[in-house]
Structure 1
Amino acid sequence: MNSLASLNRRLGVLADLVARHPELPAPNVEICSVITDRITVSFHESPGAFRQWLTALGIALHTVQGGAGATCAWLTALYEVDGVTLKLTSYTRLDVAETDGAV
């Protein structure tokens, strides 16, 4: 099992992002103890917030990948900073009309 010290590099990257971009909308942030070189940043029902992050970090739209399930669509982009991969994902619920009434 990893120690708290294993989080130092990722917490530093996150703190640096906050210092450089304090105006960005606050996402859901996950720092996993298993995948030690990644920070997962997710946005739920906030595609505009996802777009603001892409713009601020200079992530090209053509690098964003996406998909859709029965009730949810998602967009994902990866961004490398100081040896840490920032995985940004936007989740948006599909309108009932778009899913033929599936919930």
Structure 2
Amino acid sequence: MTLDDLTVSLRALRLLAADFGHLPAPDVDVSTVFPERLRLSFHDTSCESLAAFEQWRTALGIAPDAVEARTQSEGRTRVLAAETSFAGAVVMLTAYADQSAADRAGGVR
């Protein structure tokens, strides 16, 4: 595999940077295993990562009902995930945030 084989995901990243440079910076992952996939993720112990996810979700036109919400790490971590197509690439958007003790006690998922 060559860098040219990652053209689709790298082009999408370039266009996202040009079109949405004002949005919060995500962790970015491009892989030779899935060359047409671009992963954008947000990790935070507060809920700022969830807010960043929502900004990106809105910018990418992903419907709220297309978002998967779950917890992991025995309910201690809240996860939001969604995907869409952008510039020919599959863009996977994921956010992780600590689930507060109050939310865990109240059953928020």
TM-score scaled to structure 2, two decimals? 0.82
1:18-74 CA distance string (max 9 Å, x none): 111111110000001101120011011211111110111111101101211212110
Q: Could you tell me which of 69, 82, 85 is aligned with 1:66?
A: 69
| C-alpha separation in 2, matches of 1:28 and 1:18 | 13
1:67-92 CA distance string (max 9 Å, x none): 11212110101010232100000111
Does the Cα contact within 8 Å between 2:8 and 2:35 map onto a contact in 1? no
SS in 1 for 2:82: strand
Structure 1: 5+ residue stretches without partners: none
Identity %: 35
TM-score scaled to structure 1, two decimals? 0.86
Total equivalences in the alignment: 99
Q: Which residue of 2 aligns with 1:51?
A: 54
Specify the code of the residue in structure 2 equivalent to 1:34. Answer: V
| C-alpha separation in 2, matches of 1:99 and 1:61 | 22
Instruction: Give the 4+ runs in structure 1 shifted more than 6 A.
Output: none
Structure 2: 5+ residue stretches without partners: none
| C-alpha separation in 1, matches of 2:104 and 2:58 | 30
